[in-house]
A and B are shown apart, each in its own frame.
Chain A
């Protein structure tokens, strides 16, 4: 099937914005089609979040596989792709993670040109604070590990933090801020735009995005996948990729797989809009709390999981109280703000806190999941590596370590060393 190359007139550009602006904005076209399912595809991706759509984009754009469908139970982008706090960074300690997330950050840096879509990547810097000598040592170790691998990391002392962010509670008697580890290239991106940008780019290459199409079964013939049962009928496929975040255990169970994963709640909050206050992403070291400011002016923040298995997408109050307490002890001025909105998503927590992108024991079935609460920043590299793994039937070097077999083989990638307790990762 020939790839659909977008007509020049449909490209987004400053010139186009001007032209549409003076002609009543009547020329914009639908960003992706709403096709009927075909009987068969070369590849079916389950899950129309960022990861599924990015996979389809790279399958079509890099590997020339365009007979692809992304099946999504509701509209695209209402899962974690549309619920996260939009932080992108690559400041990991362990090489398997650093390699992967740094590649992702590099893809973010060129994503707008690749997609012809403004995903509002803003490299405003990500600062992790430390509050004791031992936390400082850990930050130095992490910074060195990053720099050895070619990732940017800067150790910032207390005075410099005070100058950058004068509203922080520097001299909190219990948790004085001694400094921070800054990744200048970290920052944020506009989460919804990432979904829409990948969807539009994949659609341009002929990928069918099938919304309101829930997968209810994975059909096999012997040891091989032959397609998926959906609420819109059976869809045949040579290869099937799973990228359903919080529902990973449930969809994998349709193929008889049992995974080292639990589903947990993660909440996020946004305040009323205020004048520019926070010009980077800050994370507290004395409790789990991170915060940045959106372009609309709201402060967006989050922290720990609620801490028990849940599929409810509904956060609970004890966490809210704890989180607000931590936030106010880092930025006392927060106590004067009103929270406008609060929501929760279902994070697919693994037993070591790291994800997997891999083949499975079933021929033609591929797995992408275990993103915990850090998968937004992974979106481009996850799609890149998953597309590679599906197209070539072997992992890309960047996801070679991210298999589910690692647990059986004793090769955990345990960034936090929290043991096999998904709620503690």
Chain B
């Protein structure tokens, strides 16, 4: 069981969250072109190691939180609110 340290609710079990994927992808400007839009929607770095990702605390505070988790060890380093940057990786 992953324990996700929600910045609003404290450590909560993963069952209360929905996973929403890579939090480093950013919507490009409307005129950025097809390739930029394609990369935003489809391509992912998919790292083996630290990954910044969205989790939706649907059965808690209902906030989206940004979590830094290691995809090899499942260790969780930090979780911050949606508008904040994490110290190690930045969105």
Contact = CB atoms under 8 A, between A and B. Distances in A.
A258 B43 contact: yes
B19 A260 contact: no
Interface in B59-76: 69, 71-74
A420 B42 contact: yes
Contacts of B14: 316, 318
A312 B73 contact: yes
Given A263-B71, A309-B71, A423-B19, A316 B1 contact: yes
Contacts of B39: 258
Interface of A: 247, 249-250, 258-263, 307-312, 314, 316-318, 351, 407-408, 420-423
- Identify the interface centre among B13, B21, B39, B48: most chain A CB within 10 Å of its CB: B48
Interface of B: 1-2, 13-15, 19, 21-22, 34-35, 38-39, 41-46, 48, 51, 53, 69, 71-74
Contacts of B48: 247, 250, 263, 311
B21 A317 contact: no
A247 B19 CA distance: 21
Contacts of A423: 19, 21
Contacts of B74: 310, 312, 314, 316
A309 B46 contact: yes
A261 B42 CA distance: 8
A53 B15 CA distance: 39
Given A261-B44, A318-B15, A310 B38 contact: no
A307 B71 contact: no
Contacts of A262: 21-22, 44, 46
A96 B45 CA distance: 27
Given A317-B1, A318-B1, A312 B71 contact: yes
Contact of B44 (A249, A250, A307, A408): A249
Contact of B38 (A314, A316, A407): A407
Contact of A249 (B15, B19, B46, B73): B46
Nearest to A311: B48
A250 B19 CA distance: 22
Contacts of B72: 310-312
A263 B46 contact: yes
B71 A311 contact: yes
A317 B15 CA distance: 10
Contacts of A351: 41-42
Given A309-B22, A311-B72, 13 more contacts: A259-B44, A260-B43, A262-B44, A308-B2, A308-B69, A309-B21, A309-B46, A309-B53, A312-B73, A312-B74, A316-B2, A316-B14, A318-B14
A261 B15 contact: no
Contact of B51 (A261, A309, A317, A407): A309
14 contacts: A259-B43, A259-B46, A262-B22, A263-B48, A263-B71, A307-B19, A308-B53, A310-B71, A311-B72, A312-B71, A312-B72, A318-B14, A318-B15, A423-B19
- Sorted nearest first, the 4 A-B pairs with minimum C-beta distance are A249-B46, A260-B42, A311-B48, A308-B19
Nearest to B14: A318
Contacts of A312: 71-74
Contacts of A260: 42-44
Contacts of A407: 38, 41-42
Contacts of B15: 318
Nearest to A318: B15
A262 B39 CA distance: 14
A258 B21 CA distance: 16
B46 A261 contact: yes
A197 to B, nearest CB: 31
B41 A420 contact: yes
Nearest to B67: A308
